């Protein structure tokens, strides 16, 4: 994870220390791993509402007359079909099809976009994008002046609606709007990393501090990176550096909906060659509570090695251990019995399609949660 003394604090680091969070370096930043405990924070998001500091993420502004065409060439997802106020998940690939980063692109206007990238890859992403875009496209890194927090869980809509100046009831999944907190601008995005209904909130650093404090006062449970990891694993969302990286072709990720089949993008030929062969990312549900770890080998019950674990943890929602891993495509079918070979013992389990936790509320209508609270 790195040296804590060299890690950069976020604007909320002092708040985390006051709350008694256990801190550790992540992506070059000092981040809260947990407050009261991973399981309790995880359950708060699944059943109520959790609040995450995500100020470590990077934000780039990309705009100009050639911005759309440049982004179409740079990203695996379709960009030109985005409406203003819509966002989309996609990948940045190198010419070999390896994943430089996964990101969300926000269309903020006719020729203007915001891209949100991972903390640990931010500098490299910016340099790569700058090499790829034309002189007519303006690129700015606004990460240091942009605060970001995530409010996630079934109680999030009512809580946020009570704090912001403007209504949020019409906001659809993977859409965003400009709202206000005491007349200060807050970008409200119907996205997240937990599988539950919720929001990613972008604002100035000063407004982010106020918003964090008010959401805690309203009853949100502060949640750390530990819970963020178990939540995303349950719904099969990748973590860069584990499920994705330059050493893994994007065509093996299984996220075919973000790999446009009808346009040219950097690495597209290499990506398409891997979409029907090789390995593919899949879920593993283990029989017991002992977790697998990154690098553990996945075998069939007869001992044939067919894959490798990329992430693993105990699942609070399912009451057993789960994992994500790359398995040879011909063996990936729900119900396939496997064993994960760890340093201590073999862990029996079953391959399952994601999401492994299937009760998430992320795509449900905001209105039903707002009406339920009224």
pLDDT interval class at 1 (50, 70, 90): very low
Give the pLDDT confidence of 340-359 residue by residue, as tens digits: 999 999 999 999 999 999 99
Q: Which CATH number fits domain 59-116: 3.40.980.10, 3.30.70.1400, 3.10.150.10, 3.30.70.270?
A: 3.30.70.1400
pLDDT for 308 equals 98
Strands (E) in 83-230, as ranges, are 87-93, 99-109, 112-117, 138-141, 146-152, 176-181, 184-189, 198-204, 221-222
What are residue 193's phi and psi, to 5 degrees? -130, 25
What are residue 89's phi and psi, to 5 degrees? -85, 140
Q: Any idea where the domains of the chain sit in the sequence?
A: 4-56+144-233, 59-116
- Is the pLDDT reported for residue 4 higher than 70? no
Question: 338 forms bridges with which residues in the sheet?
Answer: 300, 349
Cα separation values, 106 from 155, 190, 205, 270, Å: 25, 12, 20, 26
Distance CA 210, CA 206 (A): 7
Give the pLDDT confidence of 97-135 residue by residue, as tens digits: 999 999 999 999 999 999 999 999 999 999 999 999 999
pLDDT for 52 equals 98
> What is the residue-wise DSSP string for 152-185?
ESTTHHHHHHHHSSS--TTPPTTBEEEEEETTEE
Average pLDDT of the segment spanning 40-58? 98
Percent of the chain with pLDDT over 90: 94
Average pLDDT of the segment spanning 17-32? 97
pLDDT for 20 equals 98
Average pLDDT of the segment spanning 15-23? 98
Please give the order of strands across the beta sheet that includes 22-26: 8-9, 29-34, 22-26
pLDDT interval class at 374 (50, 70, 90): low
First to last CA, the chain: 44
Give the pLDDT confidence of 78-93 residue by residue, as tens digits: 999 999 999 999 999 9
Q: Which two tokens stand for residue 241?
A: 């550096």
3-state secondary structure of 237: coil
3-state secondary structure of 349: strand
Indicate the helix (H) or strand (E) that contains 232: helix 225-234
Q: Do domains 4-56+144-233 and 59-116 have the same CATH topology?
A: no
Average pLDDT of the segment spanning 334-342? 96
Cα separation values, 11 from 52, 53, 131, 164, 170, Å: 13, 9, 30, 21, 31
Average pLDDT of the segment spanning 154-161? 98
- Is the pLDDT reported for residue 285 higher than 80? yes
pLDDT for 143 equals 98
What are residue 161's phi and psi, to 5 degrees? -60, -35
Mean predicted lDDT score pLDDT of the chain: 96
pLDDT interval class at 2 (50, 70, 90): very low
Instruction: Say if domain 4-56+144-233 classifies as CATH 1.20.200.10.
Output: no
pLDDT for 371 equals 85
Give the pLDDT confidence of 161-215 residue by residue, as tens digits: 999 999 999 999 999 999 999 999 999 999 999 999 999 999 999 999 999 999 9
The dihedral built from the CA positions of residue 296, 299, 305 and 306, taken in this order, carries a sign that is negative
């Amino acid at each position: 994870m790195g040296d804590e003394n060299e890690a950069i604090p976020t604007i909320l680091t002092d708040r985390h220390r006051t709350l008694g969070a256990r801190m550790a370096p992540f992506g070059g930043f000092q981040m809260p791993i947990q407050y009261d405990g991973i399981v309790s924070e995880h359950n708060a998001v699944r059943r109520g509402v959790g609040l995450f500091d995500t100020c470590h993420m990077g934000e780039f502004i990309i705009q100009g007359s050639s911005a759309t065409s440049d982004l179409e060439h740079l990203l695996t997802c379709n960009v030109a079909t985005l409406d203003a106020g819509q966002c989309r998940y996609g990948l940045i690939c190198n010419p070999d099809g390896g994943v430089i980063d996964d990101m969300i692109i926000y269309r903020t206007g006719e020729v203007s976009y915001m891209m949100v990238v991972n903390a640990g890859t931010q500098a490299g992403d910016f340099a790569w994008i700058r090499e790829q875009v034309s002189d007519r496209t303006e690129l700015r890194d606004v990460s240091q002046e942009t605060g970001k927090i995530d409010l996630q869980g079934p109680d999030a809509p009512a809580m946020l609606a009570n704090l912001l100046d403007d209504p949020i009831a019409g906001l659809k999944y993977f859409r965003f709007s400009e709202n206000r907190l005491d007349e200060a601008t807050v970008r409200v995005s119907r996205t997240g990393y937990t599988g539950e209904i919720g929001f990613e909130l972008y604002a100035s650093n000063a407004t982010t501090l106020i918003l964090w404090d008010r959401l805690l006062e309203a009853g949100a449970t502060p949640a750390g990176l530990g819970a963020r990891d178990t939540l995303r694993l349950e719904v099969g969302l990748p973590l860069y550096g584990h499920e994705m990286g330059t050493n893994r072709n994007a065509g093996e990720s299984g996220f075919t909906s973000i790999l446009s089949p009808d346009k040219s993008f950097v690495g597209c030929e290499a990506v398409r060659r891997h979409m029907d062969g090789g390995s593919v990312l899949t879920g593993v549900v283990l029989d017991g509570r002992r977790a697998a770890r990154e690098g553990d080998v996945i075998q069939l019950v007869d001992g044939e090695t067919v894959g490798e674990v990329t992430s693993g943890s105990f699942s609070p929602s399912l009451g057993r251990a789960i994992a994500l891993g790359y398995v040879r495509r011909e063996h990936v079918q729900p119900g396939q019995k496997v064993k994960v070979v760890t340093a201590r013992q073999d862990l029996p389990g079953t391959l399952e399609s994601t999401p492994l936790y299937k009760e998430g509320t992320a795509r449900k209508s905001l209105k039903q949660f707002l009406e339920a609270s009224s």
